[in-house]
Amino acid sequence: MIEGRRVILRSVRNSDIQYFLKWLDDPEIALLLGRYFPTSEFDERSWLIEAPERGDIIFTIIDKATGQPIGNCRFGGIDFKNQRAESGILIGEKDYWGKGYGKEALELLIDYGFTELNLNSIYTLVISSNERSIKTHKQIGFREQGRIRQRIFMKNKFYDMIYFDLLKSEWLQRRKHIKNKTLF
């Protein structure tokens, strides 16, 4: 369990799956994630069960004030030889958007990745239309390294995927200046 000021990252429980499915069923969220197939309960359970085999670590994000799940975050395809992994985050409860919960959860995840898993590089892919996610990643120190042009076709339009990454050295430097000392 990783505890922050307002959120906790904890392991996924069976009772969280109903929330995960509700969030993925939301058309607005599906667009931000570039998903276009419905996710069945069977798909979601299999994705969670097979996570260790794929080298993924998945957390449920809990609002400390209410104890309720508000999202999830993960490292995908952890490559311990090259010390790199892909990060992913979803604040599924839309009332929580734009209030700093996503930034805090991502900071906790990233810090765990660099200081516990000993990763050297964390990367993520964001759809060019997802301005909130782009802003959050940039605020944390991710840098745009390139664009995969017209990678995603949605609602009759193509969108670029932006490749962001963050190195451990950059994060440790930034971490020193994070004002919210209760986080680390």
Q: State in angstroms the smallest separation of the CB of 151 from ligand COA.
A: 13
CB of 45 to ligand COA, least distance (A): 21
Kindly state the smallest distance separating residue 41's Cβ from ligand COA, in Å.
20
Q: Which is nearer to ligand COA, 121 or 124 (CB)?
A: 124
DSSP calls for 147-180: EEEEEEEETTEEEEEEEEEEEHHHHHHHHTT-S-
Which is it for the CA torsion 29, 12, 142, 97, positive or negative?
positive
CA distances from 179 to 21, 33, 173, 175, 183 (A): 35, 30, 13, 9, 9
* Under 8 Å between Cβ of 59 and 11: yes
Nearer to ligand COA, 121 or 133 (CB): 133
Q: Which is nearer to ligand COA, 17 or 33 (CB)?
A: 33
Look up tokens 């209030």; give the residue. 99
* Nearest distance from C-beta of residue 125 to ligand COA, angstroms: 7
Which single residue brings its beta carbon nearest to ligand COA? 102
Residues that bind ligand COA (CB under 6 A): 29, 32-33, 71, 89-91, 97-103, 126, 130-133, 135-136
Q: Which is nearer to ligand COA, 131 or 169 (CB)?
A: 131
